[in-house]
Amino acid sequence: MIDVRIAEDWKDILRDEFSKPYFEELVHFVRAEYAAGEVYPAGRNIFRAFDKCPFDKLKVVIIGQDPYHGPGQANGLCFSVGEGVPFPPSLQNILREVHDDTGAEIPASGELDRWAEQGVLLLNAVLTVRAHNAASHAGHGWERFTDAVVRAVAERKQGVVYMLWGNYAQRKGAIADPNTNLILRAVHPSPLSAYRGFFGCRHFSAANSYLQQQGKEPILW
């Protein structure tokens, strides 16, 4: 078991995963990468999505693929950037859809902690990346770990909203039962595809309607 900063309920749920041989190999790989050069996010933020959104509070799952690989961008929550960092294009498009869908003002900061703290798990499939080298840590074990995370949510919770944007996220979230959860699918919010169905998907208001039907607090997007 490695010592990671992560909400206690997640630590209990993932304890077995942390002790599996593949995860030990992953830890060795990640440590070597951080020692060898610039890797994002900062080590203390690798598991930040789990620390900011305890399992007990989880209401919504958003799945990303890879952390941002530019300086100062990745902060451990998918699509989120640190305070004062310009919005990457996908985040710009997400916040534009939030505004068009719910009327919420586009915020000055792209830091999505406020979503996580309300119960939105902002989960990247791969949790680390080499600077300026997209998908450089894919295929080393992170995907297996985050599959186990999605499986744990699917098996232990019902009434969860899954926002699955793009084919990759849709494959990863396919384990979730559409009969006992709300599965929202759209193309990825990147500039390459946003105009083909992300804009106008109205996922954020749909999520809140569903949560309210279950007597849960809606998310202040």
Residues that are catalytic: 66
Task: Compute the residue count for the chain.
Answer: 221
* The pairing of beta strand 60-64 with beta strand 120-124: parallel
Q: Which of 186, 187, 184 is nearest to 208 (CA)?
A: 184
On whether the CB atoms of residues 85 and 72 are closer than 8 A, the answer is yes
State the Cα–Cα distance between residues 204 and 58, nearest whole angstrom: 16
